[in-house]
Amino acid sequence: MLKESLVSEFQKIVGNENVLTTPEALKAYSYDGTTSWIHEPDCVVFPKNTKEISEIMKIANAEKIPVTPRGGGTNVSGGSVPIMGGVVLCTTKMNTIVKIDKENLTATVEPGVVLQDLTMRLMKEGLFFPPDPQSFLGATLGGIIAENAGGPACVKYGVTKQYILGLEVVLPDGRITNFGGRTLKNVVGYDLLHIFVSSEGTLGIITKAELKLNPIPPAKKTIMAVYAEIAMAGESVFRVLENGVIPGKIELLDNWVINRIEEMMPMGLPKDADAVLLFECDGIPEAVEKETEKIVEITKKYGAVDVRVAKDMDEANKYWMARKAGFAAVFGKAPTVMAEDVTVPRGKIPEFIKRCRDLAKKYDVEMCILGHAGDGNLHPSILSDIKNKDLYERSLKAMDGIIEGAVEMGGVLSGEHGIGLEKQKFFRRAVDPVAVELMIKIKALIDPNNIMNPGKIWD
């Protein structure tokens, strides 16, 4: 429990209404988007600016109180769960889009800006910010940056780190500092900026960010390729890429997901297909036409039993709606869903899918596969029930097998959600010991009192 006097100090800094301590409020800040991680903070603080954050951190550092930064709390790694109690520092009230600079294609944002709000503002200017964790309706930029989020557009556009030019950060001792800047190129000194991107809140608090933007591509085209065998779909992914086409998105839905979507909103998806791939090409119209033709040709050559090019925006939107509904389809179907976030080298996708299916059989669990196949980031999801002990344990074993399989194939534990609490037990097995040691030293250097989001990543 926090000392009463500290609560009133926080109140002096941010105002009474911006400090929550009632048991009900603390319970409401004990979770994130994961199913199994819960821990209550001792207090929730809503700063309105960088200076307030700096003052809060000075107190927390002096008193050695854990501080867990949090935005919309949509993350699925447990990263924003205050597992050691202490203070949840919630940035949702710092939600101003400070500036959109059309000349330099940049935007300056506060950490609590919700991605969809940014996207809508940018759309009016003909601009877009490619990283998009599919929780865009609630996810805030601070969290997106701290988790180095990905999304469907990564195959062509990369993850969040490619779109962060500069950060303003409050360090655990309260010092305010800046990394990077507003230029595309910046090779001055060690790249501290990118330690903070993907730091999962363990090094400091992001208080402002300079984002790199893209113009909205003038043309788009959607292609759906249908497969009788999911591994063939996996193969098509790297065949398309090795043949010189880099679509904006390549998404995979398996038979289970297709059928749940059809139950929810019938739209004529091929219910017998073992899997479908959804491609989106974007760019200048002529290039999009050519790329589309090429994708049709390659997917047919490498085993697609049917390939449909969406004839208009309506049909395209329908397919992408299906992809988005995939999330709901999975999560609405079981009391506990374990959604994986591993990423394998693209050439290994077919082998990895086969491994997943074997594991499902071996442990007798229901599993579906969907995800951002284009960059090898798949989300095999096990439908489980935490209240059913036997099923839950088998699910955990299958899950372990999936992760081990991915790492064996040269993949990584997480493509876009981060380690947080969810992947901790695999961390040291999957990351080189020297690298782990360096990370721990960096952490100790920046946060000697270990107050920033303690208990996460390797802890």
Partner 1 sequence: MKDLTELKKIEKFADQCMKCGFCSFFCPVYQEERVETSVARGKNYLVRLALKGEQEFTPEMGDIIGKCLLCKRCAANCPSKTQIDRVVVGARAQMVKDKGLGFIKNFAFRKVMANRKAFGRYLKLAKAFQWMFPKTEGNIRHLPDFLKALGHGRNIPTLAKTFLRDMVKPVYKPVNGEKPKMRVGFFMGCATDFIYPELGLKLIDFLTKRGIEVVVPENQNCCGAAIYFSGDFETGRMLAEENIKAFKDVDYVVTACGTCSSTLKDYQKYLPDNEDQQKRYEAFEKKIKDSTEFVIDVMKIPPEDFKLRKEFEGKTATWHDPCHLIRYQNIKEQPRAILKALKGLKYVEMPNADMCCGMGGSFSVYHYDLTKKIADKKMDGIKATGADIVVTACPGCMINLIDNALRNKMTQKVYHFLELVE
Q: How far is the CB of 127 from partner 1 (least distance, A)?
A: 20
313 to each of 7, 52, 238, 284, 320, how far by Cα in Å? 53, 46, 26, 16, 10
Shortest reach from residue 73's CB to partner 1, in Å: 6
Place of tokens 């297909």: 273
CB of 13 to partner 1, least distance (A): 18
Question: Given the complex with partner 1, which of 41 and 350 has the nearer CB atom?
Answer: 41
Comparing CB distances to partner 1, the nearer of 145 and 295 is 145
Find the shortest distance in angstroms from Cβ 281 to partner 1. Answer: 27
In sequence order, what are the beta bridge partners of 250? Answer: 279
Shortest Å distance, C-beta 138 to partner 1? 4
* Least distance between partner 1 and beta carbon 412 (Å): 24
Q: What is the DSSP letter of 35?
A: S
Choose the binding region for partner 1 from 1-9, 202-210, 332-340, 434-442 (rule: CB under 8 A). 332-340
Task: Figure out which of the listed residues 11, 96, 104, 116 binds partner 1, where binding follows CB under 8 A.
Answer: 116
- Site for partner 1 contains 74 (CB under 8 A): yes
Residue among 98, 267, 328, 438 that touches partner 1 (CB under 8 A) = 328
Any contact of residue 49 with partner 1 (CB under 8 A)? no
Closer by beta carbon to partner 1, 31 or else 320: 31
Which residue pairs from 438-447 have beta carbons closer than 8 angstroms and sit at least 24 positions apart in sequence?
A: 442/195, 442/203, 443/202, 443/203, 446/171, 446/172, 446/203, 446/204, 447/171, 447/172, 447/202, 447/203, 447/204
Least separation in angstroms between CB 332 and partner 1: 4
Select from 185, 163, 169, 165 the least CA-distant residue to 69. Answer: 169
Distance CA 388, CA 158 (A): 39
Total of residues contacting partner 1 (CB under 8 A): 34
The residue from 335, 393, 440, 448 that contacts partner 1 (CB under 8 A) is 335
Structure tokens given for 127: 């601009």
What residues pair up with 114 in beta bridges, in sequence order?
140
Residue 337 binds partner 1, judged by CB under 8 A: yes
Q: Give the bridge partners for 254, in sequence order.
A: 275
Q: CB of residue 350 vs partner 1: minimum separation in angstroms? A: 29
Please list every residue from 3 through 42 that binds partner 1, using CB under 8 A.
20, 22-25, 27-29, 31-35
Residue 254 contacts residue 274 (beta carbons within 8 Å): yes
Task: Give least dist CB 443 to partner 1, A.
Answer: 28
Per CB under 8 A, which of residues 385..444 are in contact with partner 1?
Answer: none
Site stretch for partner 1 (CB under 8 A), options 229-237, 284-292, 322-330, 420-428? 322-330
Nearer to partner 1, 320 or 331 (CB): 331
- Classify the phi-psi angles of 174: left when phi > 0, otherwise alpha if psi is within -120 to 50, otherwise beta: left
Which is closer to partner 1, CB of 182 or CB of 324? 324
Distance CA 5, CA 269 (A): 60
Nearest-CA neighbor of 394 among 338, 353, 457? 338
Q: Is 81 near partner 1 (CB under 8 A)?
A: no
CB of 172 within 8 A of CB of 446? Answer: yes
Beta strand pairing call for 214-215 and 67-70: unpaired
Tokens of 432: 């080189």
Pick from 371, 372, 396: which is nearest to 382 by CA? Answer: 396
Q: Which residues does 389 contact at the CB level (< 8 Å), separation at least 6?
A: none
Q: How far is the CB of 24 from partner 1 (least distance, A)?
A: 5
Is the CB of 297 or the CB of 385 nearer to partner 1?
385
68 binds partner 1 (CB under 8 A): no
Region from 66-74, 302-310, 341-349, 451-459 binding partner 1, contact rule CB under 8 A: 66-74
- Cα–Cα distance between 70 and 78 in angstroms, integer? 11
Residue whose CB is less far from partner 1, 140 or 299:
140
| Mask for 132-151, x = binds partner 1 (CB under 8 A) | ---x-xxx------------
Closer residue to partner 1 in complex, CB, 5/22: 22
CA distances (Å), origin 194, targets 146, 162, 165, 166, 437: 10, 9, 10, 10, 18
Q: Which residue in the set 41, 72, 86, 376 belongs to the binding site for partner 1 (CB under 8 A)?
A: 72
Which residue ranges make up the site for partner 1 (CB under 8 A)? 20, 22-25, 27-29, 31-35, 46, 72-74, 92-93, 95, 112, 114, 116, 135, 137-139, 325, 327-328, 331-332, 335, 337
